[in-house]
């Protein structure tokens, strides 16, 4: 016979369940309070922004602009730390291995994040697993330009002309495995154009050769080609963005020229090491978007050939995943390997 002081089984279960629910609620409140406290306390010290390229390029310049503006908004200095080498792989590896507390960030470049993994035998990081997306800074529109002496003026005319040349038409870019090279190879694969890639040690050298008539075509960023197009020294064939370039509104897109979904831009953005607290990522994204919505900042980015692209971490992550996947096929088909 049960002890009369023992509560009935149903009552005991209700007491136990009530106790568990109270404990869970307290735990949830504690976690929420901890997350809010962590977000409020961040940043607790200066932030290191690793730029995996040398001082002075467009990527570095855009990074310094963003660092300057974030310093003002976060109340802590954002220090740019240039770590060039191996086409951006060295600095990127450093951030992948850094403490995930939001005090070490990466200025991410599309060439490093979504092309290098396919052209290098080993990069030392996993784009999809080693980083937490914060947000895209902006897109650098790419353009195909020709020497004025080239008879073909439209994209379709360039494609047709290339097929009549025994050696094809040469196009210069800033180097093997860069986004302009990938765009050129995709153009070949999509249209059957007979194009021969000529890699240079920078877009400036490629432009010099097309201006001199040594090569017929160059695939490059709008920022570098703009003054030569405006002066009439180069002819703009098309831009490979979804929309026309604001600085060259009369130049058609590849899509308008008949290539559906041909939307390829070079981009730059902010990443943190994987496992960085979501509260920290959200705070950085909020402040980055505030910076990118500042008209003065947008104008300064425009002078660098970058169109500001504020948005959320998830959107930036999806964009990276898309490019990582589609460029794999292009690299494999063209057999592109790092030099």
What pLDDT, on the 0 to 100 scale, is given for residue 293?
A: 98
What integer pLDDT is reported at residue 56 of this predicted model? 84
Name the nearest CA neighbour of 49 among 33, 21, 71: 71
Query: Is 139's pLDDT higher than 60?
Result: yes
Q: Is residue 6 part of a domain?
A: no
Q: Do 207 and 296 reside in the same domain of the chain? A: no
Residue 274 pLDDT class (50, 70, 90 cuts): very high
Give the Cα separation of 246 and 321 in Å (integer).
Answer: 27
37 domain-assigned:
no
> For residue 32, is it within any domain?
no
pLDDT tens track for 14-73: 544 455 455 444 444 444 444 455 556 899 999 999 999 999 888 899 999 999 999 999
Residues 65 and 200 in one domain: no
Whether residues 189 and 329 share a domain: the answer is no
Question: Which residue in the block uniquely carries the two structure tokens 């400036």?
Answer: 204
Q: Considering the domain boundaries, does residue 147 fall inside one? A: yes
Instruction: Answer whether residue 13 is part of any domain.
Output: no
pLDDT tens-digit readout, 177-213: 999 999 999 999 999 999 999 999 888 899 999 999 9
Q: Is 86 found in the same domain as 159?
A: no
Q: For residue range 154-182, what is the model confidence (pLDDT) as tens digits? A: 999 999 999 999 889 999 998 899 999 99
Residue 235 sits in a domain whose CATH number is: 3.40.190.10
User: Domain range spanning residue 323?
Assistant: 47-140+266-334
Residues 302 and 223 in one domain: no
Residues 126 and 146 in one domain: no
pLDDT for position 251:
97
Whether 294 is in a domain gets the answer yes
| Closest by Cα among 218, 222, 219, 217 to 247 | 222
Same domain, 123 and 271: yes
The whole-angstrom distance between residue 103's C-alpha and the CA centroid of its chain comes to 20
| Helices and strands, number each (H, E), in the chain | 12, 10
**SS3 assignment, position 7:** coil
Would you state the pLDDT for residue 18? 53
In the 8-state DSSP scheme, what is residue 128? T
Residue 80 has pLDDT above 80, yes or no: yes
Please, which residues bridge with residue 81 across strands? 50
Q: Do 146 and 109 share a structural domain? A: no
Write down which residue in 204, 239, 274 finishes a domain: 239
Closest CA to 224 of 297, 169, 144, 299: 144
pTM score of the predicted model: 0.82
CB contact at 8 A, 179 and 142: yes
The answer on pLDDT for 7 being more than 60 is no
Asked whether residue 59 is domain-assigned, the answer is: yes
Q: Is residue 132 domain-shared with residue 145, that is, in the same domain?
A: no
Q: Are residues 147 and 285 in the same domain?
A: no
Mark whether 149 and 230 lie in a shared domain.
yes
Task: Note whether 123 and 158 are same-domain residues.
Answer: no
pLDDT, position 301? 94
Percent of the chain with pLDDT over 90: 79
pLDDT at 126 over 70: yes
- Domain of 329, CATH number, reads 3.40.190.150
Handedness of CA 277, 283, 287, 292 (dihedral sign): positive
Give the count of domains, the chain: 2
Pairing status of strand 195-199 against strand 169-173? parallel
pLDDT single digits (tens) 275-321: 999 999 999 999 999 999 999 999 999 888 899 999 999 999 999 99
> Residue 54: inside a domain, yes or no?
yes
Write down the mean pLDDT value for the chain: 90
């Amino acid at each position: 016979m049960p002890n009369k002081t023992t509560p009935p089984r149903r009552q005991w279960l209700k007491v136990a369940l009530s106790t568990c629910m109270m404990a869970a609620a307290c735990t949830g409140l504690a976690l929420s309070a901890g997350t809010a406290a962590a977000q409020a306390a961040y940043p607790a010290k200066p932030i290191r922004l690793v730029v995996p390229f040398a001082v002075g390029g467009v990527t570095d310049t855009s990074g310094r602009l963003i660092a300057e503006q974030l310093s003002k908004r976060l109340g802590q200095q954002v220090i740019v730390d240039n770590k060039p080498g191996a086409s951006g792989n060295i600095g990127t590896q450093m951030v992948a291995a850094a403490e995930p507390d939001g005090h070490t960030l990466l200025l991410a470049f599309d060439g490093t994040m979504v092309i290098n993994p396919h052209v290098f035998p080993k990069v030392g990081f996993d784009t999809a697993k080693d980083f937490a997306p914060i947000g895209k800074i902006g897109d650098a529109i790419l353009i195909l330009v020709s020497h004025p002496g080239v008879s073909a003026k439209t994209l379709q005319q360039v494609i047709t002309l290339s097929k009549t040349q025994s050696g094809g038409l040469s196009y210069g870019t800033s180097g093997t495995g860069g986004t302009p090279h990938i765009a050129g190879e995709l153009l070949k694969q999509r249209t059957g154009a007979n194009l021969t890639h000529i890699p240079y040690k920078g877009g400036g050298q490629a432009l010099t050769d097309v201006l001199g008539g040594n090569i017929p075509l160059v695939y490059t960023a709008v920022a570098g080609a703009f003054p030569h197009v405006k002066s009439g020294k180069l002819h703009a064939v098309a831009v490979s963005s979804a929309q026309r370039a604001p600085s060259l509104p009369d130049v058609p897109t590849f899509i308008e020229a008949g290539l559906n979904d041909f939307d390829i831009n070079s981009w730059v953005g902010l990443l943190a090491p994987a496992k960085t607290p979501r509260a920290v990522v959200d705070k950085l994204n909020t402040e980055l978007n505030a910076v990118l919505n500042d008209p003065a900042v947008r104008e300064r980015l425009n002078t660098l050939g970058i169109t500001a692209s504020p948005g959320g971490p998830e959107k930036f992550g999806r964009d990276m995943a898309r490019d990582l996947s589609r460029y794999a096929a292009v690299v494999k088909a063209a057999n592109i390997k790092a030099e």
